[in-house]
Amino acid sequence: MNKTYLSYNNIVSSLGFDSPTVVQKIHEGLSGVTLIEDETLFPNPFYASVIDSDYLGKAFEKLQPAGGYTRLEQMMILSLDKIIKASGVALTDRVGLILSTTKGNIDTLDPRNPMPAERAYLGTLGHIIKNHFGFSTEPIVLSNACVSGILAISTAKRFISQGTFDQVFIVGGDIVSNFILSGFNSFQAMSTLPCKPYCKQRSGINIGEVAASVLVNKDQDNLPPEAVEILGEASCNDANHISGPSRTGEGLYRSILSAFKEANVGPGDIDYICAHGTATIFNDEMEAIALNRLGLDAVPLNSLKGYFGHTLGASGLLETIVSMHSLYHNTLYPSKGFTELGVSQPLNIITAPIAKDLNCFLKTASGFGGCNTAAIFKKVRS
Amino acid sequence: MSDLKQELKEKIITQLNLEDIAIEEIADNDPLFGDGLGLDSIDALELIVMLDKDYGIKLTDPKEGKKIFESIEVMANYIAEHRTK
Amino acid sequence: MKAQHLKIKEYCKISNNRVLLNDQLLYEDQGSDFTTFIKLAYKKMDTNYPKFFKMDDLSKLGFLASDILLKPMTQDAEITKNIALVFSNSASSLQTDRKHQESIVDKENYFPSPAVFVYTLPNICLGEISIKHRLYSENSFFIFNHFNAKYLHDYASSLIESEKADEVLCGWINCDVEDYEAFLYLVSKKGSIEHNKEEIIKLYTTK
């Protein structure tokens, strides 16, 4: 089977508009989550990670865009533009485009939004990105709740191994919208404070927005120094409930086990786990149970939600990119917001930056619909 | 009070889409969750919205809901005491 | 295991108020709206699953079409089947998205419903099917402007060839303002129809 690599990457977020800047901010312990007072988004003040609109507009203007673009389109184009240029990859019929998003341009359904509501069709979003850059192939939009970001990486790998493409550009993005905030609030899932994954005092999620992008490549040449190989991945459903995580962590347990099998590694090979850690009571507990069932409780682990909030369809991709840089810098970053373990099973939560030789990491996510995904990545040593 | 109970039964059946259940099948003291009507966590959240929308009662802690939604009887008593509309 | 050895075992279509299994008409009810039609079809198929009535239209459509294909395969509660679900459509969950949006437009009447919001993700339908048929398997939901046989073919083949799934339930389920449509087919190692792009398009376009 072909090998596949995560190559050039970029992050457009409230912490900065490129991966090295964002990772440096994390290293310094800074979070993009702030208190937002904006009644067009939510009736009460709320904590979220929101990109400064002026800053976004100015950065986007530099690309000299023709025509009008929505907020998410601007974020996605800014994100992808850098890696398409840096990689020098020609957009032939051997190059795929995958978008990973839960809600796309959902803000255009709001009657106050100046853009037409037709823009909310995810296929339309895909074509706007395709046409902007001149991709030759039909865009693939993956909308699989909060596992979309990792599943997009799996999907790219699967299409490459099947011979459909040689290279795939993935862009994952979602925005902070009144649609999402009102929905998660009706689920009583929103924290009134910055989120605290795995912590005793955790009380729910913060929402965040980001556009993350990566090039998935089957060749080992022309890789940036932070590149990683995708060793194995899998996605399994809980078959339990459409919104509540499984009490036994069944789907996540099976996903990790299956990813181990494909990667031909075991718990002892994992140097670091970048987990989902939304900071809801039930999600974090479920993860602790699944990880303990697999004997992964001693492996250093963090959730990056404390830096970015939950960035929905982009989160898995965003967090994988940060982890690639974590490996490259041989540094484990702390799980922001964590003070005291608040799950029933032991976990080795990272509480301060640690310098350590890192080779292999596990990324996981779980989401509505009972979906779970796990992927294992290894440093490329030249 | 019996009017309120009747009203609650009707609302639960329509708003929670309990297609196969008739009003007469819900006794005042039947448990609503678990083995009773088989309601789940989304139904509980939906009942919290109903309390707010129809009776002006705001619950912020889902755990509170667990006690209030024990049965039609308990629910009706709670609403009668706390309703603002 | 090579792609050309895979087969299409069975397929199911729900559109134009008709339910078809392979080329056999299982149910027809012209003159009803979707809500009535899908409920009558559910009863006719003897589905007996009260949670059906809590689902949104997209989930009802996908659930019923899947149930027709999967029911005979997953009846034995002792055996769990590794059947992946790979669905696609063009409207994602937009019909339900619009409903949720309506509930938050008016500040004076701001009561978003969790039971609506949970269905504002297309893959919830995959979760519903997984629960009913105890499938701890791969789930993927793709959005394309139009039915894309090539991508579905390659992806389903990859899942079976990489041993991530034994079989794949694949296809298109769409609900939008004007119309609805379900076309699902089961990719397997056994069956009478070749699993290739041309056959998939043929099955999809034959009315």
| Chain A residues closer than 8 Å to B42 by CB | 242-243
Residues B48/A188, Cβ–Cβ less than 8 Å: yes
Q: Which CATH number fits domain A231-379: 2.60.120.260, 3.40.47.10, 3.30.70.20, 3.10.560.10?
A: 3.40.47.10
Is C112 an interface residue toward A (CB < 8 Å)?
A: yes
Taking Cα atoms as reference points, which of A371, A257, A366, A321 lies closest to residue A11?
Answer: A321
ipTM at complex level: 0.98
B42 and A242: CB-CB below 8 Å?
yes
Q: What is the pLDDT of residues C30-54, one digit of tens each?
A: 999 999 999 999 999 999 999 999 9
- Predicted confidence (pLDDT) at residue B2 exceeds the cutoff of 90: no
- And the tokens for C155? 């992806």
B60 and A188: CB-CB below 8 Å?
yes
Nearest beta carbon to residue B52 from set C111, C115, C118: C111
> What average pLDDT does this structure show over C153-174?
97
- Could you list the residue range(s) of the whole structural domain that residue B52 is in? 1-84
Taking Cα atoms as reference points, which of C150, C138, C147 lies closest to residue C83?
Answer: C138
Instruction: Provide DSSP, B16-80.
Output: TT-TT--GGG--TTS-SBTTSS-B-HHHHHHHHHHHHHHH------HHHHHHHTS-HHHHHHHHH
CATH number, domain at B74? Answer: 1.10.1200.10
Nearest beta carbon to residue B45 from set A186, A241, A242: A186
Task: Give the nearest chain C residue to A370 (CA atoms).
Answer: C127
Mean pLDDT of chain C: 95
Interface size between B and C, measured as CB pairs under 8 A: 28
> Burial code of C177-196, b = ≥16 C-beta within 10 A, e = fewer?
eeebbbbbbbbbeebebebb
Alpha helices in A88-198 (DSSP H): 122-133, 148-161, 178-186
User: Whose structure tokens read 């019929």?
Assistant: A93
Residue type, A110: D
Q: What's residue A12's pLDDT?
A: 98
Is C50 an interface residue toward B (CB < 8 Å)?
A: yes
* Chain C stretch 125-184, residues whose beta carbon is closer than 8 A to a beta carbon of chain B: none
A251 and C113: CB-CB below 8 Å?
no
Residue type, A137: T
Taking Cα atoms as reference points, which of A63, A60, A72, A56 lies closest to residue A129?
Answer: A72
Q: What's residue A1's pLDDT?
A: 61
Mapping DSSP to helix (H, G, I), strand (E, B) and coil, where does residue A23 land?
helix
* Chain A stretch 332-351, residues whose beta carbon is closer than 8 A to a beta carbon of chain C: none
What is the rounded CA–CA span in Å between residue C96 and residue C76?
34
* Chain A contact probe: residue of C101, C129, C159, C177 with most A CBs at under 10 A: C101
Taking Cα atoms as reference points, which of A325, A311, A337, A335 lies closest to residue A51?
Answer: A311
Nearest beta carbon to residue B20 from set C50, C111, C114: C50
- Predicted confidence (pLDDT) at residue C1 exceeds the cutoff of 50: no
Residue C4: pLDDT band by 50, 70, 90 thresholds?
low
- Predicted confidence (pLDDT) at residue C109 exceeds the cutoff of 50: yes
Residue intervals in chain A for CATH 3.40.47.10: 5-217, 231-379
Task: Give the nearest chain A residue to B49 (CA atoms).
Answer: A186
Q: What is the pLDDT of residues B22-81, one digit of tens each?
A: 999 999 999 999 877 889 999 999 999 999 999 999 987 778 888 999 999 999 999 999
> What average pLDDT does this structure show over C84-98?
98
Residues A204/A279, Cβ–Cβ less than 8 Å: yes
CATH class of A5-217: alpha beta
Name every residue in A having a CB less than 8 A away from some CB of B: 186-188, 241-244
Residue type, A212: A
Is B22 an interface residue toward C (CB < 8 Å)?
A: no
Using CA atoms of A343, A348, A352, A356 in order, give the dihedral in degrees to the nearest 10.
Answer: -160
> Burial code of B40-70, b = ≥16 C-beta within 10 A, e = fewer?
bbbbbbbbbbbbeebbebebeeeeebeebbb
CATH class of C7-205: alpha beta
Number of domains into which chain B is organized: 1
Task: Give the nearest chain A residue to C118 (CA atoms).
Answer: A243
Q: What is the CA radius of gyration of chain C?
A: 17
Q: What is the mean pLDDT of each run of 10 residues along chain A (382 residues)?
A: 91 98 98 97 96 97 93 98 98 98 98 96 98 98 98 98 97 98 96 98 98 96 96 97 96 98 98 98 98 98 98 98 98 98 98 98 98 98 66
Residues C23/C8, Cβ–Cβ less than 8 Å: no
